Chains A and B, each alone.
Chain A
């Protein structure tokens, strides 16, 4: 079945700097790659997603890139702010693949003022 590896497990950056989180997946049939942000005591919240027919997607300070050949995708957060501090999860799924979301282990991002 699908396996998603996420790195790093923890990331600390200065406010205003950029943060990058990387994920690799194993199932070449996966077509959908969402990123979730989870704040303490809350459920995961979708922040951006990308489908396999697109190589990059951007939404204000957040961008995701996808390399289907290499089977990896990355989350980029620019101009980080203290409210970006949270745990971030990548996931993969697809009709031809697992048909369910398989999550990475998560990255705890800390923004230092």
Chain B
């Protein structure tokens, strides 16, 4: 158990809908990262927050947004969903922001868009 929690575990929805994925980092970690894992793209970095502020952006679509709250939990919002958004979404956390610290991954949310 990494100490990172994610809810829900599974999500089934329809095209055009909006969903929210939630992540709670390990106790003491200030950075939260979101990754998308699909069969053809592997693990892709989406976005990073550090202590409530956005720090780095990857290949995140404009239809996707995220935020980190004062209690350090984070939410990833996916809107206008398309079939291609079906994937595993992982959250990871680390102590700081240098990019050289261990990132601990949560169990993931499996999203299926029908």
**In the complex the two chains form, is B100's CB within 8 Å of A31's CB?**
yes
Collect the chain A residues with CB atoms within 8 Å of residue B100's CB.
31-32, 51, 93-95
Main SS of the interface on chain B? loop
Interface size class for chain B?
A: 20 to 34
Are A43 and B107 within 8 A (Cβ)? yes
A25 at the interface (CB under 8 A from B): no
B90 engages A93 (CB within 8 Å):
no
- CA of A73 to CA of B103 in the docked complex: distance in angstroms? 19
Nearest to B107 among chain A residues (CB) is: A43
Selected from B4, B103, B107, B108, the residue in CB contact (under 8 A) with A101 is B103
Interfacial chain B residues near A93, Cβ < 8 Å: 99-100
Q: Which residues of B contact A36 (CB under 8 A)?
A: 105
Contact stretch, chosen from B11-19, B40-48, B62-70, B72-80: B40-48
Q: Per-position contact with B for A64-106: 1 when CB-CB < 8 Å, else 0?
A: 0000000000000000000000000100011101111111111
User: DSSP class of A's interface residues: helix, strand, loop or mixed?
Assistant: loop
Interface residues of B in 92-106 (CB under 8 A from A): 97-106
Contact B102 A100 (CB under 8 A): no
Q: In the complex, which residues of chain B have a beta carbon less than 8 angstroms from the beta carbon of A51?
A: 100
Interface size on A, residues (CB 8 A): 25
B22: min CB distance to chain A, Å: 15
User: Which chain A residues border B2 with CB–CB below 8 Å?
Assistant: 43, 45
Given A36-B105, A103-B42, do A44 and B98 touch, yes or no (CB 8 Å)?
no
Q: Is the CB of B104 within 8 A of A46?
A: yes
Q: Roughly how many angstroms separate A102 CA and B107 CA in the complex, as a whole number? A: 19
Tell me the smallest distance from the CB of A73 to a CB of chain B, in Å. Answer: 14
B binding-site residues for A, Cβ under 8 Å: 2, 4, 33, 42-45, 48, 55-56, 58, 90, 97-108
With A46-B104, A100-B56 given, can you name 5 additional A-B contacts, CB distance below 8 Å? Answer: A45-B2, A45-B105, A46-B102, A95-B99, A97-B99
Chain A positions within 8 Å of B, measured between CB atoms, are: 31-32, 34, 36, 42-46, 49, 51, 89, 93-95, 97-106
